[in-house]
Chains A and B, each alone.
Chain A
């Protein structure tokens, strides 16, 4: 549901509730009782759920993740003009949706992955507002990056299954699929955001609307 429609519904609900606050005696009539039920039960519950859904969708956007000051360098790393930067290569070539770039790679594709990502976000908020946030270059993942997140898209893709390096040793591909050989920390695709070295990089800002 679009944000504007939810806002219109919220405004209409608040106005109807104001009528009830102003003239509560109208609930003596059956029509007033139905109005009270709609305005004080159904509409607020619907508005809240619609708003919550809207916020949940918004929290998956790249803009949302980068709205925290501390995340700015990570946003900048998406525009590095160097194909060895994994995040930049994925973002610039639309291997991930540009408007959900962070969420696509940093959510967990197991059961309850979205819920875990949201809880992780609450932890970030707590640290950002009430704790001592680390410097961007000191930010680390809570757990090592699981190959499952890469394989969600790459598994079965010809470039992955028949890649020369992936097949140079017959044990490599099974090890990647079993997550015993990490995609991003085994010396293969280990340049991801590397925000500490961004000041030495050139940037590509094409394709922006």
Chain B
């Protein structure tokens, strides 16, 4: 695990955030209470957005690193 690339580390974190966000969303869809709507948007949406943004950020970082290396 020590030789894992920083890009891979960010992908893993992004994936974990997305998985947890998706699971929260899935549970909210099974939970027929008004509070489920708030949890879906507030917690599920936040986790998914954080995962997606981290993924996009990691792409930008790699692209910049490649550009600097040339």
Give me the interface of A with B, judged by CB distance under 8 Å.
Answer: 3, 6-7, 10-11, 13-14, 17-18, 20-21, 24-25, 27, 36, 39-41, 44-45, 47-48, 51-52, 54-55, 58-59, 63-64, 67-68, 121-122, 124-125, 128-129
Name the one of A7, A44, A58 contacting B26, with C-beta atoms under 8 angstroms. A7
Main secondary structure of the interface of B (DSSP, over half): helix
Distance in angstroms between the alpha carbons of A95 and B4 in the assembled complex: 64
Residues on B with C-beta less than 8 A from A52 are 40-41, 45
Give me the interface of B with A, judged by CB distance under 8 Å.
Answer: 4-5, 7-9, 11-12, 14-16, 18-19, 21-23, 25-26, 28-30, 32-38, 40-41, 44-45, 48, 51-52, 55-56
| B29:A36 contact, CB within 8 angstroms | no
| B15:A48 contact, CB within 8 angstroms | no
Distance in angstroms between the alpha carbons of A36 and B36 in the assembled complex: 29
Between A and B, 22 residue pairs with Cβ closer than 8 Å are A7-B26, A14-B18, A14-B23, A17-B18, A17-B19, A20-B12, A20-B15, A21-B11, A24-B4, A24-B9, A24-B12, A39-B18, A40-B52, A40-B55, A41-B52, A51-B40, A52-B40, A52-B41, A55-B36, A58-B32, A64-B32, A125-B38
